[in-house]
Chains A and B, each alone.
Chain A
Amino acid sequence: MATTMITTLDRSSRAAARGLSDISIRNLFIIPTILFLIVFNIFPLIYSLGYSFTDFRASTNAPANFVGLQNYRDLLNDPYVWSNFAITAKYVIISVAGQLFVGFGVAMLLNRDIPLKGFITTLLLLPMMLSMAVVGLFWKLLYDPSWGVINYALGLGNFEWLADPRMALYAVALTDIWMWSPFVMLLSLAGLSAVPKHLYEAAAIDRAGPFYTFFRITLPLVAPILMIAVIFRTMEAFKTFDLAYILTSQPTAELISIRLYKMAFQEWQTGRSCAMAYIVLIMVLAITNIYVKYLNKVKER
């Protein structure tokens, strides 16, 4: 064994001598990607960090004045911005909870011998693959108070979904639940199918009831993968822009991304929007950090 190892290394180094060394290949393969990401992802962020300390407006030619931390101070003291955060938090909770409930529920039902199971699963996964903006647009027709299919199917008459300030956020969340429950379902199915069958057999021998089996066997074993789904969806829901922007312009459904978009590209408060972007950025990085730590933990198991 040891001798073959040595000859392998020896011969491969001889072959390598003809071509590039392993280290230069490694650098050649990795460095361009890192550079590309630095130039097109990190450099812009440094650029906008600079602007976040100014009163720059991209719509005028007026030079940017340094204002220090003024933008950050104003934003953190602005009750409207706080209400945007509150709306976003509410949206994240409703939509992730809904997805967890529907997705895990359907996965529990699907986790048995069902004819055409693979085909049904693929069909159920279709919504999450489609474009949020384009499909979201069509939900406008489905939600329409006078000829929408939803009101007709549920017998709700002329119920206002998107035009009612109290309903708009729930309507957006409902569409999001439709789109992304399949994601939770997919992950849950993977988790459920990994639960060893002998545990259920043992529980059956002990005459454990269905509730006991669920809470003592199924749930603890599926929990880590559910957690991945929850963190991932939380992060995505926090960033939601397309769906809410397309579906409604109600101030009660103005998520943080939409506020940011309006501030930057409609009100042209470029400097202030850069500061706002940084506040959002720090929050997202915090969630990402938790996510990656958790991923690595699950991978090790």
Chain B
Amino acid sequence: MAAVRTSSEVTFNRIAIVVVLLVTIIFLAPIYWIASTAFKPRNLATTIPPTVVFQPEISPFVKLFTKRSQMRNPPTPEEYAAAPWWERVVFDGGEKIVRDGKGEVQWSGYPSRFMNSLIVAITSTVLAVGMGTFTAYGFSRFRVKGEADLLFFILSTRMLPPVVVAIPMFLMYRAVGLNDSHLGLIILYTAFNLSFSVWLMKGFIDEIPKEYEEAALVDGYTRMEAFFKIVLPEAATGIAATAVFCFITAWNEYAFALIMTNRRAQTAPPFIPSQVGSGLPDWTVIAAGTFLFLLPVAIFTFLLRNHLLRGMSFGAIRK
């Protein structure tokens, strides 16, 4: 009897493993498809049946970063020989890279949008985590009147739908000239991430024994010194995890960026979809832009894997 049960359990385990592997493949397929399309020649991006095996190309990335124009005639052998390697890959598609009068390569809109994303995400992360850590320490170590209500207030500011907040912010920014500016987006993302950072950091600081600081206070440290020299180093992992979460949120944010920016301060998330205009979009270029944009988040996800649960539940569930 027992033996029968064991063998059926083994079979069930095997089936479970196979199903898990299948599910993993299905879940990763869209991401794999983005990555592989980013290295395809244009004519293989939309084929039936879909192209899986192909000679990888770098041309989508060259196209992503440059402005190009159609060529009437194929390049002469001299032109071909004079062109740098990254320009030759574009020739095959009957295009050439646009240069200004001085022969400088004209960049596409992508690099500046990517830079904007970096500037806005990094600055707002530093601000949100910085302020959040101080505030979390305040809530964790001192008695605060109406603490539960204040924490609920802080959390609720994060729960508002972006469009609801965006309408008045748009009007106010327009009045003070913060529309389409880095500073405007940085303020919005800092406010958005601050609540998250307070909640998550409070959990991390709660875990640091109070005795550490008390011992330092006994040794004649001031409260400030104890905070900077004892608590901050102890909370380093928590600060790093919180920072990565804030960065990813700001990096991925779409609605505020769509409404508040259009050119100068536009970040990558509203820019990438705007490339799909009318007509047939070049999906290899879109995939290349998407691939580069997703890469930092994919790397961070692996670095963060042990803190994901905690971050995604606002620090409610610790592991």
- Residues of chain A at the chain B interface (Cβ within 8 Å): 7-8, 11-12, 15-16, 18-20, 22-23, 25-26, 28-30, 32-34, 36-37, 40-42, 44-45, 47-48, 51, 58, 106, 109-110, 112-115, 118, 120-135, 137-142, 144, 146-147, 149, 152, 178, 182-183, 186-187, 190, 225, 228, 232, 235, 238-239, 241-242, 246, 257, 260-261, 264-265, 270, 273-274, 277, 280-281, 284-285, 287-289, 292, 295-296, 298-299
Query: Would A261 and B163 count as touching, CB distance under 8 A?
Result: yes
A181 to B143 alpha-carbon distance, docked (Å): 39
A131 contacts B20, C-beta separation under 8 Å: no
B179 CB to nearest A CB, Å: 11
Q: Which of B152, B164, B171 contacts A47 (CB 8 A)?
A: B171
| A270–B171 CB distance below 8 A | yes
Contact B159 A235 (CB under 8 A): yes
Q: Which residues of A contact B319 (CB under 8 A)?
A: 190
Listed A/B pairs (23) with beta-carbon separation below 8 Å: A12-B223, A15-B222, A41-B191, A47-B168, A114-B17, A122-B305, A126-B301, A130-B294, A133-B252, A133-B269, A135-B290, A138-B34, A138-B286, A138-B287, A141-B283, A225-B317, A228-B317, A242-B254, A246-B273, A257-B255, A264-B163, A273-B167, A298-B316
Q: Which residues of A contact B112 (CB under 8 A)?
A: none
Residues of A within 8 A of B316 (CB): 228, 295, 298-299
Q: Are B161 and A241 in contact (CB under 8 A)?
A: yes
Contact status B27-A152, CB under 8 Å = no
Answer whether A232 and B313 are a contact pair too, CB < 8 Å, given A33-B131, A140-B276.
yes
- Majority SS at the chain B contact face: helix
Q: A25-B223, A29-B134, A152-B50 are in contact. Are A126 and B273 (CB under 8 A)?
A: no
Residues of A within 8 A of B273 (CB): 133-134, 137, 246
Q: B47 near A: Cβ within 8 Å?
A: yes
B166 CB, min distance to chain A CBs, angstroms = 8
Would you call A264 and B302 a contact (CB within 8 A)?
no
- Complex contacts, B161 vs chain A, CB 8 Å: 238-239, 241, 257, 260, 280-281, 284
Would you call B223 and A139 a contact (CB within 8 A)? no
The answer for the CA separation of A130 and B254 in the assembled complex, in Å, is: 12
Could you tell me the distance between the alpha carbons of A137 and B277 in the complex, rounded to whole angstroms? 12
Q: Report the Cα distance A129→B251, complex, angstroms.
A: 11
- Pairs A-B, 3 closest by C-beta atoms: A19-B222, A29-B138, A44-B168
A113, A115, A118, A284: the one within 8 Å of B159 (CB): A284
Q: How far is the CB of A63 from chain B (nearest CB, A)?
A: 14
Assess whether A138 is in contact with B30, with CB atoms less than 8 Å apart. yes
Select which of B27, B148, B150, B276 is within 8 A of A182 by beta carbon. B27
Q: Does B270 interact with chain A (Cβ within 8 Å)?
A: yes
| Contact (A22, B223) CB under 8 Å given A131-B297, A147-B50, A298-B316 | yes
